[in-house]
């Protein structure tokens, strides 16, 4: 007997990629359970599927940075005293990425790359230890939202958030909708999709000098990177990432602030026009701003 739940949850996270750098992503999760009927004549109660499996997925992937632990670029150092983990992702040509964060900020995928197959196996291994005895197997279908209009992948961290959004490197795959003078403008949507393709959106106030960062050791030329640091309720977070893969805002990087940033940037380019921007944060949610 099989039990299925579609659209169980959406995982919003970022991952490290040798070619693309730090990539924000959003995947929808469907699940199929194989097993015998229990004493309630069920494989598993739908309420438990939705609550318990969603909890595990959120706990182990959502709002984390996924690191391909078996990639040759990945160097992972754990501090047993502080509980912090340092990750150096040594991409060549000044494109290395470095982090020092609490262990909970990461998910270490033991594969050479982070993709649907490796993340699916990672989650199956986690969930399998929490299933009741009558459930023989689980299939996870991870899939991106079908988006037929322009979209981008972005990563950020929200230091003022009281939950997991405060982690300095989590992200989303998001579409953007732009109206200019009440008319849909695909060119502006394409502009943002290109500008924020695989981008880290950082706050100006979180930037520190490279010499002040604990992450500068493995960076040959400090001028090639932005260095970010902040402390929040989950601990201290540090990131060093190539400047060419960043966009800096003078506000927090909440979706509300990003929507307003986008609208104001467009207004500066066409001062006589009125703009309405719908900036999505992952699947089915976001903010609207006007300029």
Q: What is the DSSP string of 64-122?
A: SEEEETTSTTEEEEE-TTT-EEEEEE--STT--EEEEEEGGGEEEE-SSS-SHHHHHHH
Q: Token pair of 101, please?
A: 């964060």
Alpha helices in the chain (DSSP H): 46-48, 54-60, 116-128, 186-195, 255-269
pLDDT at 181 over 90: yes
Angle at 289 between CA 283 and CA 291, to 5 degrees: 150
The whole-chain average pLDDT of the chain stands at 93
Q: How many Å apart are CA 85 and CA 43, to the nearest integer? A: 39
Q: What percent of the chain has a predicted confidence (pLDDT) above 90?
A: 81
**Whole-angstrom Cα distance, residue 206 to residue 200?**
13
Quick check: 275 pLDDT over 80? Answer: yes
CA dihedral (122, 126, 131, 137) in degrees, to 10, reads: 20
Question: Which of 7-11, 38-42, 208-212, 228-232 comes out lowest in average pLDDT?
Answer: 38-42
Bridging pattern class, strands 135-144 and 21-35? antiparallel
Asked whether 277 and 176 are in contact (CB, 8 A), the reply is yes
Q: Is-contact 256 231, C-beta < 8 A?
A: no
List the domains of the chain with CATH numbers: 2-290 (3.30.479.10)
Measured distance CA(189)–CA(175) in Å, rounded: 8
Q: Which of 111 and 133 is assigned the larger pLDDT?
A: 111
Res. 43: pLDDT tops 70:
no
**Cα angle for residues 3, 9, 11 (degrees, 5° grid):** 130
Alpha carbon distance 107, 66 (integer Å): 5
Three-state secondary structure call for residue 132: coil
**Cβ atoms within 10 Å of 167's Cβ, excluding its own:** 26
Task: Point out the least confidently predicted range of 1-10, 76-85, 128-137.
Answer: 128-137
For residue 220, what pLDDT is reported? 92
Stretch 22-31: mean pLDDT, rounded?
Answer: 96
Burial (CB < 10 A; 0-12, 13-18, 19+), residue 25, is buried
Flag whether pLDDT at 134 surpasses 80. no
């Amino acid at each position: 007997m099989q039990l299925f739940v579609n659209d169980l949850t959406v995982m919003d996270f970022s991952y490290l990629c040798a070619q693309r750098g730090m990539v924000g992503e959003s995947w929808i999760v469907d699940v199929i359970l194989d097993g015998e009927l229990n004493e309630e004549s069920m494989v598993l109660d739908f309420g438990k599927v939705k609550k318990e499996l969603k909890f595990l997925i959120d706990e182990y992937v959502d709002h984390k940075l996924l690191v391909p632990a078996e990639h040759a670029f990945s160097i992972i150092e754990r501090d047993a005293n502080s509980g912090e983990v340092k990750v150096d992702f040594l991409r060549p040509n000044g494109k290395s990425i470095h982090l020092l964060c609490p262990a909970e900020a990461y998910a270490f995928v033991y594969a050479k790359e982070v993709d649907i197959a490796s993340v699916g196996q990672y989650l199956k291994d986690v969930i399998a230890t929490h299933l009741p005895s009558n459930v023989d197997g689980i299939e996870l279908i991870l899939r991106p939202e079908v988006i037929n209009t322009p979209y981008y992948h972005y990563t950020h961290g929200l230091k003022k958030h009281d939950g997991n959004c405060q982690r300095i490197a989590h992200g989303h795959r998001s579409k953007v909708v732009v109206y200019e003078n009440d008319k849909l403008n695909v060119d502006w949507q394409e502009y943002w999709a290109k500008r924020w393709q695989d981008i880290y959106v950082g706050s100006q106030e979180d930037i520190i000098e490279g010499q002040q960062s604990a992450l500068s050791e493995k960076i040959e030329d400090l001028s090639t990177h932005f260095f970010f640091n902040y402390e929040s309720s989950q601990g201290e977070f540090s990131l060093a990432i190539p400047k060419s893969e960043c966009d800096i805002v003078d506000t927090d990087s909440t979706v509300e602030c990003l929507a307003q940033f986008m609208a104001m940037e467009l207004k500066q380019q066409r001062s006589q026009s009125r703009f309405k921007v719908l900036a999505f944060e992952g699947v089915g949610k976001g903010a609207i701003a006007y300029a």
